[in-house]
Amino acid sequence: MPQYRIITVDAFTKVPFKGNQAAVVAVPSDTPIDDATMQAIAAEMNISETAFITPLMLQGPDEFKQSRVFGLRWFTPTCEVKLCGHATLAAAHALKYELGSEREKVCFETASGQLLVNFGLYNSYSMTFPIDTPAPMPINDDVKTIVAGILGEYTPSIQVEISPSLRYMVVYDPARTGKDIVQLEPKLSPEVVAAGTRENIIGVIATAKSADHDFCSRFFAPWCGINEDPVTGSAHTVLGPFWQQKLGKTRFKAYQCSKRGGEIGVQLECNDHKDVDIDGYAVTVVSGTINV
């Protein structure tokens, strides 16, 4: 029975048991894991994401230490996803501190293209992701149902936008504060889920200005088997350009105000705003092996 290294990392936090959990499975290039088994492992871990990293271009006993390029895939307990920020951060942390990477930066080949991660000091990381600028979403009964399920009501003053690549819906009520976002109690009823499915929604971001940060948010994704994701790096590829339009700046200090909570640095790149840098910290919580 093959054994693989598995590391559980808390991402977007400096201390254990905060931020967002991700499991990272180190898959040697000569011992691949099939898709069905990856999904079964993610279901077994039963946390928001499990990442699988495989060295590319190098093989042998030092491939995790010396490789610069890795394949990276992300699975929730129920499906594979196109992009996951916190599990990318977790993968970089596992490479640096658990698998002995000798590199200062790595490149991940993913379903969203090449993602670059720079290793910083003191368990910090900077990830470069493709930006996903949202646009106003046509309002219909399904959209009103989704918004009401998240915020408790729909009113015409609520701004609703959709990101073209990830299909994240942004819900912004100018009358609500960061405290209101913290206190949200969404009702993710079968009707809300069905409406989101018809609109091809992957997740919903509720956001507001924040007293202590530039903005705060929460992220809900029952369509991926995650009612609420504690800290969502990929959501900030959408929130960065959204708040750039409102605040007229390109660098942000953001906070995802779930129960676990997490701080995220966001900076829009100067290359015509095609990329966004997502910065954060990570800590190892569990390190061991999994039998497959």
Active site residues: 49
- Give dist(CA 33, CA 4) in Å, integer: 10
In the chain, the largest separation of any two C-alpha atoms, in whole Å, equals: 60
Closest C-alpha to 203, from 132, 263, 155: 132
Single-letter amino acid, residue 137 = M
Say if residue 1 is exposed, middle or buried (CB neighbours under 10 Å; 0-12, 13-18, 19+).
Answer: exposed
Coil/strand/helix, residue 40: helix
Q: Are 233 and 89 in contact (CB under 8 A)?
A: yes
**Residues sharing a CB contact under 8 Å with residue 37, sequence separation 6 or more, in sequence order:** 292
Q: Which residue has the tokens 């499975």?
A: 25
Task: Give SS3 for 124.
Answer: strand
Q: Are 267 and 276 in contact (CB under 8 A)?
A: yes
d(CA 161, CA 61): 48
Helix-helix angle 190-198:141-151, to 10 degrees? 130
CB atoms within 10 A of CB 11: 30
Q: Reduced to 3 states, what is the DSSP secondary structure of residue 9?
A: strand
